[in-house]
Structure 1
Amino acid sequence: MHSVFSDTVTALRDVPGLRLGVNRWWRNGILHVHTVGPLALAKMVHHRGPVVVSAHLTADSFSGSIIGAEHYYRLSAGYLRAFYNRADLVLAVSSDVESQLVKNGVTRPVVVVPNRVPRNLFWAGPRSKSEARSQLGLTGDEKIVLCVAQLQPRKRPDVFIECAKSCPDVTFVWLGDSLFGPFSAERKSLRQEMSRAPRNVRFTGAVHRQEVAQWCRAADLFLFPSEQETFGLAALEAAAAGLPLILRDLSVYDDLFGRRGTGWIPARSASEFVQGVQHILSSAPLRRSLSQSSVEASEKFDLQTLAASLMNIYADFRAAAMPSV
């Protein structure tokens, strides 16, 4: 979510004549909120102008993320419903989120505005793979399967480890750590499972986005076994680097990557993920085809299109909100 917020600020800063305030308290103009915490709510209550909220989270996002979240599902769903209903306009990051918001009782207008990625940061040119591998201390012939995700049960690091056990000649690299520290769900058991992982698995912990981009350029394919996503930003970033994608068979990816089985490989179980890894790594033509599909899919979500999209939404929103004379 922080990456999306930063990308939005970067895109809007280049708009001529736009008065942009970042994390400021003000009472007029358009307030665009990206988080759902108490501070964001206080700013919304304080504000006197139009309020736009980007909906990155649903109640399902907390399950498998925070200790005991399943016991507070109704409470979190109620809070999010009340939060989003305080906005004048809600921007859902995917059609799946839009459906969940409506199902949860959000009555404010909802518009789907997908996240974007800075493709120039992730794009893998002809020489960038070898350069990235050299900078990361990797060998040129090493086969690398990458995942970028928080360490949470719903992200299924156990499936990632199972794939590594079945592919001992392949290096599996997981970038990311527990977001909520000691309050993260099943943190202790996940750490124990990681400690028992085979030697061909690397858990790097949290890294800066520039290093994430390096790993995307260095890897051979992207494996994402997460069971719940509101958008799939990490997969889109990997696609921008031209990585073939093996993703959990979720409908949220349809809007991003098109038909399943052609532009990306869907999987439902650990065995299907293993089969996908082995199939892709053993077939250079398939890797090239999937890589090209990834690049073409990511082109539709380039960061350069975000500012124009948001400015059009702001303008239409303000025009609709003005009283008729």
Structure 2
Amino acid sequence: MIANDPELLQVNQFSESLYFPAPHGVHSVFCDTISALQAMPGLNLGVNQWWRDGVLHIHTVGPASLIKMINHRGPVLVSAHLATHSLLGSLAGARMYTAAWSAYLDRFYSQADAILAVSEEVRSELLSRGIRKPVHVVHNGVDLTVFKSSPSARQASRKALGVGQDERVVLCVAQLQPRKCPHIFVECARKFPDVKFVWVGESLFGPISASRAEIRSLMAGAPRNLHFTGGLPREDVSQWCRVADVFLFPSHHETFGLAILEAAASGLPIITRRLPVYDDIFGEPGIDRLTAEDIPDFIDQLDYLLSSAEARQRFGQRSLSVASSYGSEVIAKDLVKVYEQI
């Protein structure tokens, strides 16, 4: 494609995740968005380039992104993956600089011509904070082919990861931080000693992660049937999704929940916290997924799924139905509509 071809819509996808560590969800969305847009006709797509014109679509909120926005001459969009309270329970001492972080986010989002909120909850927060730029809700998407499962793929993944064909597996994919509630996962593992529990993820901020010592102590005292893999490439995450029988996600705060969507794309029955943010994304509680509020609730819902193959199949089919609406190609079409509007 020719960069200055007037027939092409010129769009630059920019993310600091290629230079600095970014949460798994943000980087995955960035990569899937690029892949999907590359298949769209009529686009001249750049990735982390320094164009001064065309549409600039920012995915991360660091200083390099802000500099890029300030110096850009064309329209600017920002995907709002983070809320003002996203650092609480993620970074040590976050309450001490919440006000500064909030002020920075307000300034950052106000530099854009339009904002793409990943959920209605994020949109509501942005508006409540006085953001006056147009805010569109464009959910995160997922490359369904990456997480697609089948009996043969499940068998192959189990063999590759050393999991017995008849072994039951409960999975969580999340950063190791207090707001993800790993203590609930540990207690569930303790309650079901004959089931293999796997937590995929690590502490994103290393030594300055929130409650790092407490998390390490929790891991050290976990039962033997619980395995912490640490951070893994997405290909390995998808393998664990194909291996698992149930996806249990106890986090008490999310702006979207991409890991849930990835698990749903593998046809896993889902157990989540009762959070309003999920309702317009992952369907109706009790119909499309199971929900819980405290440790006894999670144990009860897990016991129900582990003891009923019919329930696992039924909720797994509901998960596939939900995920089908969030294929990356569907999200790409929504993005192009917004690009054209601005």
Residue in structure 2 matching 1:250, options 272, 275, 279: 275
Q: Are 2:225 and 1:200 aligned?
A: yes
Residue in structure 1 matching 2:56, options 20, 31, 46: 31
Indicate if the aligned counterparts of 1:129 and 1:218 stay in contact, CA closer than 8 A. Answer: yes
CA distance in 1 between partners of 2:136 and 2:96 (Å):
30
* Equivalent AA in structure 1 for residue 302 of structure 2: V
Match of 2:173 in 1: 148
Indicate if the aligned counterparts of 1:77 and 1:104 stay in contact, CA closer than 8 A. Answer: no
**Per-residue CA distance 1:225-264 (angstroms, 9 max, x = gap):** 1111000100000000000000011111112221111110
Residue in structure 1 matching 2:115, options 77, 90, 94: 90
Q: Are 2:167 and 1:122 aligned?
A: no
Indicate if the aligned counterparts of 1:31 and 1:50 stay in contact, CA closer than 8 A. Answer: yes
- Superposed, 1:286-297 pairs within 5 Å as 286-297=311-322
- Percent identity over the alignment? 51
Give the secondary structure class of the aligned counterpart of 2:95.
helix
CA distance in 1 between partners of 2:196 and 2:121 (Å):
33
Q: Are 2:84 and 1:81 aligned?
A: no
- Superposed, 1:1-325 pairs within 5 Å as 1-317=26-342
**Per-residue CA distance 1:260-297 (angstroms, 9 max, x = gap):** 11110111101111111111010111111100100000
CA distance in 2 between partners of 1:200 and 1:314 (Å):
48
CA distance in 2 between partners of 1:200 and 1:29 (Å):
53
CA distance in 2 between partners of 1:262 and 1:43 (Å):
44
CA distance in 1 between partners of 2:294 and 2:260 (Å):
18
Deviation of the 1:27 alpha carbon = 1.1
* Equivalent AA in structure 1 for residue 333 of structure 2: A
For structure 2, which runs of at least 5 residues remain unmatched after alignment? 1-25
Give the secondary structure class of the aligned counterpart of 1:147.
strand
Indicate if the aligned counterparts of 1:27 and 1:47 stay in contact, CA closer than 8 A. Answer: yes
Indicate if the aligned counterparts of 2:139 and 2:331 stay in contact, CA closer than 8 A. Answer: no
**Per-residue CA distance 1:175-208 (angstroms, 9 max, x = gap):** 0001111111111210111011000100000000
Question: What is the total number of aligned residue pairs between the two structures?
Answer: 317
**Per-residue CA distance 1:66-87 (angstroms, 9 max, x = gap):** 1111222221111111110110
CA distance in 2 between partners of 1:84 and 1:193 (Å):
37
Indicate if the aligned counterparts of 2:117 and 2:139 stay in contact, CA closer than 8 A. Answer: yes
Q: TM-score, normalised by structure 1?
A: 0.96
Q: Which moved more, 1:183-192 or 1:293-302?
A: 183-192
